[in-house]
Amino acid sequence: MISEKTITDFIYREADLLDTMQWQAWLDLFHPEGRYWMPLEWQQQDPVLQPSLMYEDLLLMKVRIERLAGERTFSQKPKSRCHHLLQAPQILVCDPAAGVFKARTSFLYTETRGDALERFSGWASHDLVQVGDELKIRLKRIDLVNFDAPFGNIQLFM
Amino acid sequence: MAKYGKDPRAIGGLVRDAEVHRDVYVDPEVFDLEMEHLFPNSWIYVGHASQLSKAGDFITANIGRQPVVASRHTDGSIHLFYNRCPHKGVKIASEPCGNTGKFFRCPYHAWSFKTDGSLLAIPLKKGYEGTGFTDTQANDGLSRIKNVVVYRDFIFARLSENGVGFEDYFGESLSTIDNMVDRSPEGKLAIEATPIRYMHTCNWKMLVENQTDTCHPMVAHESSAGTAIKVWQREQGDSKETPMAVQLYGPFMSPYEFYEQSGIRIWPNGHGHTGVANSIHSNYSDVEGYLGQMVAAYGEKRAHEILGEVRHNTVYFPNIMVKGAVQILRNFIPIAVDRTLVESWVYRLVGAPEKLYERALMYNRFINAPTSIVGHDDLEMYERAQEGLKTNGNQWVNLRRLYERGEEPDVTAVINGTSERQMRNQFHAWAKYMTMDMDQPVEAAE
Ligand code: FES
Ligand SMILES: [Fe+2]
């Protein structure tokens, strides 16, 4: 039975897989139709007809992850690392009967490469579904507090 | 110590026939001179008239380092001013865009200005009586930029009072903007969203040159486009249709021969484009209903002519690139010698199917975003160049691919698509527009 704690644990584990670069295990958390979305507008509704920083399906996420390890991926020489600092997730919906689970988590995210360090803050929203007795990500949405600022490279996942 | 000052000969000496001195990318003094001479002497893109659809609408921008504001006046005309209050210099508009109503009102002491820039009112105006105020520049209101041309809704401005006229400056290169506008069945483009902004820690000219650098995609983007092709080939199973995403990434891996035959066209004043015969945008799948709309609007022959022109990147010297086939404009905004803000705008083809807008937005986030893997490949090269150019062993950047002795500057020509001639073309224009307002301009010295 999926409880609020199951959701919270899932979100912590997800961030931990990113921080430890267990990419395949992280991808396995997604539903086959799962999406990763970084909007470019305040309270954006539409990922397709409004501009986004990222709106990616599993195929595109796999491309990103394989690229990170590529022999000729020069922007990963040296490699990036990341760190997620999460506030306790706020459970918005936990409805096992309907199979709907939603949470919103405030975060600080750090990405480093070589001597450079960049820090971002925002909110991660998780739309999860139950597959068998596991949770899977239907949508992970990242709203940065300064989504409209000009950033340098963001190469990993928030 | 000033090495270049206002010395046109020293500046001209930075540009050889097929080489440029690294100081054009790394010397802060050269950058300052670009801001004082090159940008004011050139026609610079400010924005698009669809951003100023109603009276009172305004947008802010920078021309070189000069903050400006463009506004739509009550009579429908578009005006451009320096973005400062004539009183004590407070910026009159602080947001990228908005509507100011019937007038601009300075937030400091409430001087107000009509949307054509003229002074409307000053509180306690009596205090200026007999002070000679009417003889000051402040009495004229916001300082206007006179040389403004709105070409098919694209707003360009030249800050220098005197210089090359708009038509002479752009000439036939405007055909790329024409083609982009004509791709709308209503002959109209619209900006509906904010641009994607991406900060680059490199000189602005590296980005401009890269737009016609056709020998880098298959090398630098093997990591992104190459991986996209590899993953798709492995994962496609028995799906028949190539997803839009793979259609957009894939062509970056086209071989040298593809770029060689597709050609480059150069124009006078540093403009030029890749993809003459065809381009990486040629083989996207058709969007249902679009051709029918175009034929209805333009007739069979003209519709095919418009859609058959699938240019790749058009550089409008000095600092924008237009991609007509996917309705994108990239603005390479110089911030410092080693810092460039890239704003990538998408235009919606008014009256065309939504799918085309979706594709343009997708292309923009795949290629031009700080989260774009193609962008990561490119920025890595620019940053390494910005660092590498500090070395003293060789102070020249080599632009000699397919150089022919006695190459004529300022001509229109179609050449092999892997030539670096468009980069040479840009630098010829660079020396000319850097020095044309100095005592002995480079052109005259030749
Ligand atoms: S600075 Fe604008 S009114 Fe005084
Ligand atoms: Fe590139």
DSSP chain A: ---HHHHHHHHHHHHHHHHTT-HHHHHTTEEEEEEEEEESSTT---SSSS-EEEEE-HHHHHHHHHHHT-TT-GGGSSPEEEEEEEPPPEEEEEETTTTEEEEEEEEEEEEEETTEEEEEEEEEEEEEEEETTEEEEEEEEEEETTTTS-B----S--
Compute the distance between CA of residue B21 and CA of residue B399 in angstroms, rounded to an integer: 11
Compute the distance between CA of residue A119 and CA of residue B342 in angstroms, rounded to an integer: 20
B365–A54 C-beta distance less than 8 A: yes
Q: How far apart are the first and last CA of chain A?
A: 28
pLDDT, tens digit, for every residue of B41-67? 999 999 999 999 999 999 999 999 999
Compute the distance between CA of residue B347 and CA of residue B360 in angstroms, rounded to an integer: 8
Please, what CATH class does the domain formed by B171-435 belong to?
Answer: alpha beta
Q: Is the CB of B109 under 6 A from ligand 1?
A: yes
**Every domain of chain B and the residues it spans:** 45-154, 171-435
pLDDT, tens digit, for every residue of B352-406? 999 999 999 999 999 999 999 999 999 999 999 999 999 999 999 999 999 999 8
| Cβ-count burial B307-327 (b if 16+ within 10 Å, e if not) | bebbbbbbbbbbbbbbbbbbb
For chain B, give the mean pLDDT. 96
B198–A150 C-beta distance less than 8 A: yes
Q: How far is the CA of B125 from the centre of ligand 1 (A)?
A: 13
Whether the model pTM is above 0.90? yes
pLDDT, tens digit, for every residue of B66-114? 999 999 999 999 999 999 999 999 999 999 999 999 999 999 999 999 9
Q: What CATH architecture applies to the domain B45-154?
A: 3-layer Sandwich (2.102)
Interhelix angle A58-68/B373-388, nearest 10 degrees: 30
Q: Nearest residue on chain A to B345, judged by CA atoms? A: A51
Residue with tokens 């990228």, as numbered in its chain: B96
Query: Token digits for B281?
Result: 């945008």
Check whether B445 has a pLDDT greater than 50. no
Over range B332-337, report the average pLDDT.
Answer: 98
Q: Is B90 helix (H, G, I), strand (E, B) or coil?
A: coil
Q: Is the CB of B45 under 6 A from ligand 1?
A: no
H or E element in which residue B248 lies: helix B244-249
Compute the distance between CA of residue A124 and CA of residue B416 in angstroms, rounded to an integer: 49
Ligand 1 pocket test target in B83, B84, B91, B106 with most atoms within 8 Å of CB: B106
Beta bridge pairs of residue B104:
B113
Report the candidate in B283, B223, B227 with the shortest Cα–Cα distance to residue B251: B283
CB of B254 closer than 8 Å to CB of B406: no
Nearest-atom number in ligand 1 for the CA of B88 is: 1
Chain B contact present for A134, CB below 8 A = no
Number of the ligand closest to the Cα of B121? 1
For chain A, give the mean pLDDT. 97
Check whether B302 has a pLDDT greater than 90. yes
Q: How far is the CA of A98 from the centre of ligand 1 (A)?
A: 60
Chain A residues within an 8 Å CB radius of B370: 53, 150-154
Q: Is B87 helix (H, G, I), strand (E, B) or coil?
A: coil
Q: What CATH architecture applies to the domain A4-144?
A: Roll (3.10)
CA of A95 to nearest chain B CA: how many angstroms apart?
A: 34
Where residue B439 falls among pLDDT bands split at 50, 70, 90?
confident
Where residue B239 falls among pLDDT bands split at 50, 70, 90?
confident
H or E element in which residue B114 lies: strand B112-114
Over range B210-218, report the average pLDDT.
Answer: 98
CA of B395 to nearest chain A CA: how many angstroms apart?
A: 24
Q: How far is the CA of B158 from the centre of ligand 1 (A)?
A: 26
DSSP B334-356: EEETTEEEEEEEE-EETTS-HHH
Where residue B446 falls among pLDDT bands split at 50, 70, 90?
very low
How much of chain B, in percent, has pLDDT values that exceed 90?
A: 96
Cβ–Cβ contacts within 10 Å for residue B131, how many?
9
Chain B contact present for A13, CB below 8 A = no
Q: For an interface test with B, give the residue of A35, A64, A67 to mutate (most B CBs within 10 A).
A: A67
Helix ranges (DSSP H) in B263-397: 290-298, 300-308, 354-367, 373-388
Q: Is the ipTM of this structure higher than 0.85?
A: yes
A152–B197 C-beta distance less than 8 A: no
Which residues make Cβ contacts (< 8 Å) with residue B249, sequence separation at least 6? A63, B224, B225, B228, B229, B366, B374
Q: How far is the CA of B149 from the centre of ligand 2 (A)?
A: 31
Q: How far is CA B257 from CA B206, B211, B225, B281, B283, in A?
A: 24, 18, 18, 16, 17
pLDDT reported for residue B153: 98
Where residue B1 falls among pLDDT bands split at 50, 70, 90?
low
Question: Which residue's alpha carbon is at the smallest distance from atom 1 of ligand 1?
Answer: B88
- CA torsion sign, B315 to B310 to B265 to B297? negative
pLDDT reported for residue B240: 83
Cβ–Cβ contacts within 10 Å for residue B426, how many?
25
Over range B17-42, report the average pLDDT.
Answer: 98
A51–B231 C-beta distance less than 8 A: no
Local structure of residue B36 (DSSP, 8 states)? I
Q: How far is the CA of A73 from the centre of ligand 2 (A)?
A: 13
CB of A33 closer than 8 Å to CB of A140: no
Q: Is the CB of B3 under 6 A from ligand 1?
A: no
Check whether B441 has a pLDDT greater than 60. yes
Query: Token digits for B63?
Result: 């021309």
CB of B364 closer than 8 Å to CB of B372: no
Question: Which residue's alpha carbon is at the smallest distance from atom 4 of ligand 1?
Answer: B109
CB of B272 closer than 8 Å to CB of B264: yes
CB of B371 closer than 8 Å to CB of A63: no
Provide the residue type at B110 as one letter: A
Over range B34-39, report the average pLDDT.
Answer: 98
Question: Which residue's alpha carbon is at the smallest distance from atom 3 of ligand 1?
Answer: B109
Query: Token digits for B420?
Result: 């670096």
The shortest CB-CB distance from B370 to any of A55, A67, A153 is to A153
